[in-house]
Chain A
């Protein structure tokens, strides 16, 4: 199953500045594993140390939040689109930057 995945700007450094990439998998979990193969490091930004999706990031299949479907087991159809949407607080502040990125 090939789906389009929209990448939020804080993660685009990892996807060669692409705002949308293609990934393969039958559910969200597989898509993220495929993304990690294509763009190493991305999974670290999406999952916490215990392997759970970070709670300040929401994942949507088309316009539905996967928390109200079957979370990472939510199944995908050809042509579906996945969006990764982080909480933003700005005036402009965000997240998804690792501590090392902050020591500019």
Chain B
């Protein structure tokens, strides 16, 4: 008996005819479990393309509610979703695109208490969250649970993408050992962001996820991709593992989760 239904073979035919994917690769995608941190600017395009690609299980963690001002960039949601939980709106959009996808929702904040048990159930984490404490929390939890973190971040007209794979490359702390001090961090609303920018960066994250699942190409491990939309400039710089990194270095000093708000000196927003 075939793993696929007739309909699935047709739905994924443009994948299956690619020798790099094939039926074998499509099966891998359909058996994969990917966790999206946030159903916002970055999570929206990532969720949509991963769902369309036939990822078997997509987890979404988001406690926020859809607001009119989100619609400028958060394409999972529409006018009729204003006031709904983003997680629920994301669920409906994904299901209407591809009912094959199993969607698991976590309508809560990611915290030191829940992160390890949530991460354990997934193969890959897609980090599209919007503050420094969570970035460090996610990084440390990924190291501790041995999960690959497909990282994307955006600011105004600039975006950054990389893949942090424990044991094979550097982690977020190797790249940025310390967060900016409190008071140097303006809120998202004050800084602004070009609406289509998360579309580019979140889509690049989806590409990296699919490559990792299929085991094809060259993942963005040890490389930071920088995109500037005003100059239409894509560049890469090298990232190296820091042997003195407190989490993934040769002699780690941080072996459990810490208080990340205190570490970053800022409250969540």
A residues engaging B (CB < 8 A)? 8-10, 19, 54-56, 58, 60, 63-65, 67-68, 83, 85-99, 101-102, 104
Which 8 interchain pairs have the tightest Cβ spacing? A91-B130, A95-B180, A88-B155, A92-B193, A55-B178, A87-B176, A94-B155, A63-B237
The residue of chain A having its C-beta at the shortest distance from the C-beta of B183 within the complex is A99
Indicate if B192 sits at the interface (CB-CB under 8 A).
yes
Q: Are B190 and A102 closer than 8 Å at their CB atoms?
A: yes
Which residues, 32 to 54 on B, are CB-close (under 8 Å) to A?
A: 38, 40-42
Q: Are A91 and B38 closer than 8 Å at their CB atoms?
A: yes
* B30 → chain A closest CB, angstroms: 29
Q: Are A97 and B184 closer than 8 Å at their CB atoms?
A: yes
- Of A9, A56, A93, the residue contacting B131 (CB under 8 A) is A93
Residues from chain B with Cβ under 8 Å of A104 in the complex: 190
Q: Do most interface residues of chain B lie in helix, strand or loop, or is the interface mixed? A: loop
Which residues, 120 to 179 on B, are CB-close (under 8 Å) to A?
A: 128-132, 135, 153-158, 160, 175-179
B residues engaging A (CB < 8 A)? 38, 40-42, 128-132, 135, 153-158, 160, 175-180, 183-188, 190-193, 198, 224, 226, 228, 230-231, 235-240, 242
The residue of chain B having its C-beta at the shortest distance from the C-beta of A83 within the complex is B237
Q: Contacts A55-B177, A90-B153 given: A97-B237 contact, CB under 8 Å?
A: no
Q: Are B184 and A95 closer than 8 Å at their CB atoms?
A: yes
* A43 → chain B closest CB, angstroms: 15
- Of A58, A91, A101, the residue contacting B41 (CB under 8 A) is A91
Residues from chain A with Cβ under 8 Å of B157 in the complex: 9
The residue of chain A having its C-beta at the shortest distance from the C-beta of B160 within the complex is A88
The residue of chain A having its C-beta at the shortest distance from the C-beta of B136 within the complex is A89
Beyond A55-B176, A56-B176, A65-B238: 19 further Cβ-contacts under 8 Å? Answer: A10-B156, A19-B230, A54-B180, A63-B237, A85-B160, A89-B131, A89-B135, A90-B193, A91-B42, A91-B128, A91-B129, A91-B131, A91-B154, A92-B191, A93-B132, A94-B180, A94-B186, A99-B184, A102-B186
